[in-house]
Amino acid sequence: MPQASRHLIYPSALGTIIFGNRVIETFKKFQQSDDTKLEAGGQLFAALNEGRIDVLHATVPGEKAARGRYFFRPNRRKEQQEIKAAFKKKLHFVGDWHTHPEPLPSPSSSDVEKASEIFRRSEHELNALLMVIMGTAGFPRGLCVAWVKAAEITVMETNIGISLPDKRDP
Ligand SMILES: [Zn+2]
């Protein structure tokens, strides 16, 4: 029998935000669960359909990313390539994710500054950008999901994890 895939669902003013199983696995893999693990992050790509934002792909740090225990700076060139590649698969750039070495993460002031800057200089279909921070606690508690619009940030309520059929994310 096929195993039901796990999704995290956040109802929001932007639409229903759904994180697919593979994306959740990526967040999990990079959790800073011990002192040696460096901060990680990447971009989020989604299929957009009628009030639904299916986040189907989370990219991972490349070799040229600058990483420390408390910082992560991605390689811009790699990011641009990722956006082009995703666009061919009809996936849109919807925001970024990164890790924090704390159980229940919340956006730092520099996170908000960076996100507002990206919001200003990038093209985005949602009229907002997602900001996802993976802490060290389990799901869904350890995941902070927020969206940024200009200088304003909205952290979403903790969600429900349910199974949902999705052909594109088996
Ligand atoms: Zn942060």
| Interval 86-117: pLDDT, tens | 999 999 999 999 999 999 999 998 998 888 88
pLDDT of residue 2: 47
pLDDT of residue 169: 47
DSSP lists the bridge partners of residue 101 as: none
pLDDT of residue 163: 46
Task: Kindly tell me if the per-residue pLDDT of 159 is higher than 60.
Answer: no
Calculate how far, in angstroms, residue 131's C-alpha sits from the geometric centre of ligand 1.
Answer: 9
Tens digit of pLDDT for each residue in 23-49?
A: 999 999 999 999 899 999 999 999 999
Sign, Cα dihedral of 119, 121, 122, 126: positive
pLDDT of residue 154: 87
Which pTM was predicted?
A: 0.87
Calculate how far, in angstroms, residue 4's C-alpha sits from the geometric centre of ligand 1.
Answer: 32
Query: 1: pLDDT confidence band, cut at 50, 70 and 90?
Result: very low
Calculate how far, in angstroms, residue 43's C-alpha sits from the geometric centre of ligand 1.
Answer: 14
Tens digit of pLDDT for each residue in 48-74?
A: 998 899 999 999 998 889 999 988 999
Task: Kindly tell me if the per-residue pLDDT of 165 is higher than 80.
Answer: no
Tens digit of pLDDT for each residue in 112-154?
A: 888 888 888 877 778 889 999 999 998 888 999 999 888 788 8
Candidates 55, 14, 62, 68; CA nearest to 168 is 55
CATH number for the segment(s) 6-161:
3.40.140.10
Counting other chains too, the contacts that 82-89 makes at CB distance below 8 Å and 24 or more residues apart are 82/43, 82/45, 83/43, 86/45, 86/57
Calculate how far, in angstroms, residue 67's C-alpha sits from the geometric centre of ligand 1.
Answer: 12
Calculate how far, in angstroms, residue 111's C-alpha sits from the geometric centre of ligand 1.
Answer: 5
pLDDT of residue 153: 86
Residue 152, helix vs strand vs coil = strand
